[in-house]
Amino acid sequence: MAIFGYGRVSTVEQTAENQRHEIEQSGYKIEYWYADTVSGKAHAAQRKQFSILLGKLRAKDTLVVSKLDRLGRDAPDVLATIKTLGALQVEVVVLQLGKLDLTSPAGKLMLAMLAAVAEMERDLIVERTQAGLARAKAEGKTLGRPTKTTPEQRNAIISAYARKESVSALARLYGVSRATVLSIVGK
């Protein structure tokens, strides 16, 4: 009957230690801690540390996470993860939900509603991001990575290529990849 903790962050600049601290502050003494640095878009089964964690859990163990979205990318994924954990007879505690048995009928209903709300929230974030990108584009802002060459350099590359200069020589001359040269000359 061990207590496992799991945390997930999206980028290497973040740390899951805040999640561990939150779990411990709630009164859980974590015996085994696992954390992934992976996008929230990744299914739970695709997360390396979470997969290792699943292999270590035994009946009557407890898994504690700070938030519901740590258990999956969307409502179906969270529900599948809870179902898997329920089959293992693992108690699942999500701090943001309080003490609620997520494998009970009431827990499953609450879980389904919350997972759907979380998924809708992520969809709204995507919509806002797309609207912001469209507005920036309409304002004439250049989106994406900055170009590696100036317009003058691109014209020079096209002219040199037309004079049978090799792609490799042009790439070395302008300090870019062969793929960049090929995209400039239209091949």
Find out whether 40 and 68 touch, Cβ atoms under 8 Å: no
The β-bridge partners of 6 are 34
Q: Residue 83: enclosing H or E segment and its boundaries?
A: helix 75-87
Separation of alpha carbons 49 and 6, rounded Å: 9
Q: What is the pLDDT of residue 94?
A: 87
Q: Are strands 62-65 and 32-37 parallel, antiparallel or unpaired?
A: unpaired
pLDDT in tens, 25-58: 999 999 999 988 887 777 877 788 999 999 999 9
Whether 10 sits among the annotated catalytic residues: the reply is yes
Burial code of 139-150, b = ≥16 C-beta within 10 A, e = fewer? eeeeeeeeeebe
CA 69 vs. chain centroid, Å, equals: 11
The β-bridge partners of 8 are 36
For domain 3-120, give its CATH number from 3.40.190.10, 3.40.50.1220, 3.40.50.1390, 3.90.650.10.
3.40.50.1390
SS3 content of the chain, % helix, strand, coil (to 5): 55, 10, 35
State the residue for tokens 């004079």: 163
pLDDT in tens, 49-105: 999 999 999 999 999 998 888 888 777 888 888 888 888 999 888 888 876 767 677
Q: Which amino acid is at 135?
A: R
pLDDT in tens, 3-15: 999 998 888 888 8
Q: What is the pLDDT of residue 79?
A: 82
Question: Both tokens of residue 145?
Answer: 């990575």
Total residues found in the chain within this entry: 187
In this prediction the pTM is: 0.59
Domain segments of the chain: what residues? 3-120, 151-185
Q: Which residue in the list 10, 51, 166, 177 is annotated as catalytic?
A: 10
